[in-house]
Amino acid sequence: MDFNSENIKETHLILGYLAIIIFYMEARMLKPSRWLYISSMAAGASLVLTLILAPQFTSNVLAADQASFKYTGAGSCSAAKCHGSASDKRSGATLTNEYTVWASKDKHNSAFKILFENEAKDILKKYDGGTDPSKSDKCLTCHTTGDATRYNMGLDYVAYKDKSFQGPKFDVEGGVSCESCHGPAEKWIQDHSKEGWTDEMRAKYKTSKALFAATGLWDTKEIMMRADNCVSCHLRIDSKMIDAGHPTLGFELAFYSNEMPPHWKDKDAWFTGTAWVAGQAATLREALDQLADYAGKGAGGDLITEAADRARTNALLLRHGLPSAADTLNKLAADIAAAGGDKGKLTAVAKAGTASIAGWTDSINGMKFDEDKTFALVQKLFSDQDLAAIGYGAFQQQYNSIDSVYGTYAASAENAKEAGMEAVDGILDQMGKKVLDADEYTDKEKAIAKQLIQELSKAGKTLK
């Protein structure tokens, strides 16, 4: 007979039941013999061991054949000396107040709570007739922690449905918490608090994917890994869900990172450029997947147009950050536009586009921006006339991109340039008020957007 966790568990259970019978017999006889006494104590201990150890045995055995990591819960990160101090008291790689920032300022913390609101109930009701979003997998997958399948790394369990993947402090009510972005912590929670451990592991496993496969730690330092994780919740969504009233999803990594707000400090002052490019690449890939999906599954015409516009927007934006791929990206945007409503053509173009992006990952991860490169990107974003013409969503993405990349530039460049910046800030302010605050993006708004972009382009030239 094979001695595995299952029959260890069985043996302990049989001994445990024996203990209960013996205790019962002893209580009836009221005269315990020494043998019965000793054996019942041993068996009782065995039952206790079974109850405590069985879950561990099971998961360790699972880990050997199939990757699996438990989610330990945000409560296991909240100690003041770890990540729950009241203010930034940097210690090594950590600011020590990450939990505090997340719990008090980050909307991810309320991602589960909003499922009790009427807006959420209405969406689920229209979607599949369900009445309780806080219990529906359709919502929980993005609105709480524990769906291991979101990493797209071969983990096929969902912890909030399967208790054997929940650590003692796992809490579905915590919403999108630490392990949604940093990976299930069972195997790394102890070790990662030793200074230098994470860097040692990065060196040992060489790639972030191998590090994840061995430990469950999702390396947010690798920018494409970071972007992939955010977009797994922030972009691609079932078209039926949008029809049912879910807000449409749009994402730009640098802008959304600032909005969170960040509970970290990127060491490189010019990192926003890299983050922006990575976010555009991941967003373009998701937008193309979504376009292929919608076109293939016969989603409504409006949704397909919206998905096509989004993919075009991302392709046109990304060309400014990846000049070497600009021709491919321009062609991709043109092909999508030319396909019109032809679902077969759209699917084919989208699939070809996705294949190109996979080849750019390494060069994006290795990208380094500096003041000059950031400025060059700012100018290209300022002067892009094609986006405002696509539509509101495209204009918004352009604005968000300018806001983050120019924001970084303005914060770090020398004061001497301030005079020129005032003019630019004034135009950005008008963009926000006149166009982004408009209820509808009609031809009038489109014309204003176009004019503001022209002014921005001119003002940008005086900056340097």
Please report, as ranges, the residues that interact with ligand HEC according to CB under 6 A. 74, 77, 83, 93-94, 98-99, 102, 107-108, 110-111, 114-115, 119-120, 123-124, 127, 133, 136, 138-139, 141-143, 176-178, 180-182, 220-221, 226, 229-230, 232-234, 237, 241, 246-247, 249, 256-257, 259-260, 263-264
- Cβ closest to ligand HEC, residue 168 vs residue 324: 168
- Cβ closest to ligand HEC, residue 26 vs residue 243: 243
Closest approach, Cβ 171 to ligand HEC, in A, equals: 12
- Cβ closest to ligand HEC, residue 16 vs residue 174: 174
What whole-number distance in Å separates Cα of residue 73 and Cα of residue 174?
8
Closest approach, Cβ 128 to ligand HEC, in A, equals: 8
Q: Using CB atoms within 10 Å of the CB of residue 334, give its burial: 0 to 12 exposed, 13 to 18 middle, 19+ buried.
A: middle
- Cβ closest to ligand HEC, residue 249 vs residue 410: 249
- Cβ closest to ligand HEC, residue 30 vs residue 168: 168
What whole-number distance in Å separates Cα of residue 192 and Cα of residue 368?
27
DSSP 146-177: -BGGGG-SS---BTTT-GGGB-TT--GGG-S-
- How large is the C-alpha radius of gyration of the chain? 27
- Of the candidates 296, 292, 309, the residue with the CA atom closest to the CA atom of residue 351: 292
Sign of the CA dihedral 425, 427, 431, 432? Answer: positive
Closest approach, Cβ 229 to ligand HEC, in A, equals: 5
Closest approach, Cβ 102 to ligand HEC, in A, equals: 4
- Residue given tokens 């259970």 in the structure block: 13
Closest approach, Cβ 254 to ligand HEC, in A, equals: 9
- Cβ closest to ligand HEC, residue 241 vs residue 349: 241
Provide the phi-psi class of 175: left if phi over 0, else alpha when psi is between -120 and 50, else beta: left
Distances (CA, A) of 356 to 250, 276, 326, 327, 435: 22, 18, 12, 12, 34
Closest approach, Cβ 140 to ligand HEC, in A, equals: 8
Closest approach, Cβ 103 to ligand HEC, in A, equals: 7
- Residue given tokens 């041993």 in the structure block: 42
Q: Which two tokens stand for residue 360?
A: 């750019």
- Cβ closest to ligand HEC, residue 232 vs residue 401: 232
- Cβ closest to ligand HEC, residue 115 vs residue 224: 115
Q: Helix, strand, or coil here: 293? A: helix
- Cβ closest to ligand HEC, residue 180 vs residue 313: 180
- Cβ closest to ligand HEC, residue 230 vs residue 315: 230
Closest approach, Cβ 57 to ligand HEC, in A, equals: 29
What whole-number distance in Å separates Cα of residue 219 and Cα of residue 207?
10
Closest approach, Cβ 151 to ligand HEC, in A, equals: 9
Closest approach, Cβ 246 to ligand HEC, in A, equals: 5
- Cβ closest to ligand HEC, residue 178 vs residue 378: 178
Kindly give the residue spans of alpha helices, DSSP state H, lying in 297-385.
Answer: 301-321, 326-339, 343-358, 361-365, 371-383
> Which residues neighbour 176 within 8 Å (Cβ) at sequence distance 6 or greater?
108, 109, 111, 112, 142, 143, 144, 145, 233
> Which residues neighbour 419 within 8 Å (Cβ) at sequence distance 6 or greater?
none
Closest approach, Cβ 132 to ligand HEC, in A, equals: 10
Phi, psi angle pair for 133, to nearest 5°: -60, -30
